[in-house]
Amino acid sequence: MIDRETLGSFITGWLEERGCFLTDLKVTPDNHITVEIDSLDPVDIDLCVALTRALEGEFDRDKEDYELEVGSAGLTSPLKVPMQYQKYLGQDMEVLTADGRKLYGVLLAADADGFTLRTERKVKPEGAKRPVVEQVDERFGYSDVKYCRYDLKF
């Protein structure tokens, strides 16, 4: 079986040279390798093909029989690494929290520890007849959410 750490190290180095990053790497016991990449710029098919060829050049299929799949993170795929949050700053996002709340808002900030989402909430001030909408900034750790993904609107 191909060593996942060696494979991940090679992919990370190769991608960093091109201004990209690894979002997911799966290696099954029967050597089915799935690589998911992303970049702050759009990822095109040529980059995926180039990475596939680089991997095939580095990891000989005659020595290790493996199946390889290289692709980019989809627009509606959940975000998996902090760099993806940087890519979507200022964008509308959908978040499902660990306690089951589904929130929609704008991604304001992201760092190594978590992210901040600006949401709108209806609040009825004391003595008012109708509720008013106020903006609320909520901070989340990456482990505090089940998923965060781009809110694609048509």
Q: Provide DSSP, 49-102.
A: HHHHHHHHHHS-TTTS--EEEEEEPPTTSPP-SHHHHHHTTTSEEEEEETTS-E
Give span(s): CATH 2.30.30.100, the chain: 82-150
The token pair that represents 128 in the structure block: 């008012």
pLDDT in tens, 103-154: 999 999 999 999 999 999 988 888 888 889 999 999 999 999 999 999 988 8
CATH no. of 4-72: 3.30.300.20
Element (H, E) at 33: strand 32-39
For the chain, give the mean pLDDT: 94
Give span(s): CATH 3.30.300.20, the chain: 4-72
Q: What is the pTM of this model?
A: 0.86
Q: Specify the CATH architecture of the domain 82-150.
A: Roll (2.30)
Separation of alpha carbons 78 and 75, rounded Å: 8
pLDDT in tens, 25-79: 999 999 999 999 999 999 999 999 999 999 999 998 888 889 999 999 988 899 9
